[in-house]
Structure 1
Amino acid sequence: MNQLRILWTFFRLGAMNELAYRVNFFTQLFQAVMSLVLSLGGLAVVFNQTDTLAGWRPAELVALVGIYILVGGLINLMIQPSMQRFME
């Protein structure tokens, strides 16, 4: 239970830190939403013309886009801050 409280505190502090720069926060949020919409929109355009793409079905490519976004988020969360500190 104590670990959950600590995680919640870190989450709150991180959110407060991000919301301190609201324009940057909303710009990043808009960029992330637009990236997702354009990725899925591109798939929708392709699959309006065909049933498969090199043997991939629509659901499989949507899952691939989701995994790509998830891995990118994990890299930004864990690896990028360490690399920035290393370069300083």
Structure 2
Amino acid sequence: MSHTSAPAALDIRTLAPRERHPLIFSTFSQLRAGQAMELINDHDPQPLHHQFQAEWPGKFSWAYLEQGPATWRVAITRLASAHSDGQCCGSCGGA
């Protein structure tokens, strides 16, 4: 698994709320396995975490770097899938 020296910082505090999640998911989808992005927000992004769990189950890790009260920073790392590691969990029949 390759790691970047520093995660890409995504400061969404000045964006309109409707623009935040699409930008976050677009940025995340461009990461390679092992790469991380650092999300900087003005509140706890728990709803975003739940959305990641629904849309990217088992494909990311979530680690708080700072937990308020004014600034919240989260490292979101894209995980390698079992297939990209040459392993199979068996649930898809090897597809």
Q: TM-score, normalised by structure 2?
A: 0.25
Higher strand proportion (structure 1 or 2): 2
Higher helix proportion (structure 1 or 2): 1
Structure index of larger Rg: 1
Structure of greater relative contact order (alpha carbons < 8 Å, 6+ residues apart): 2
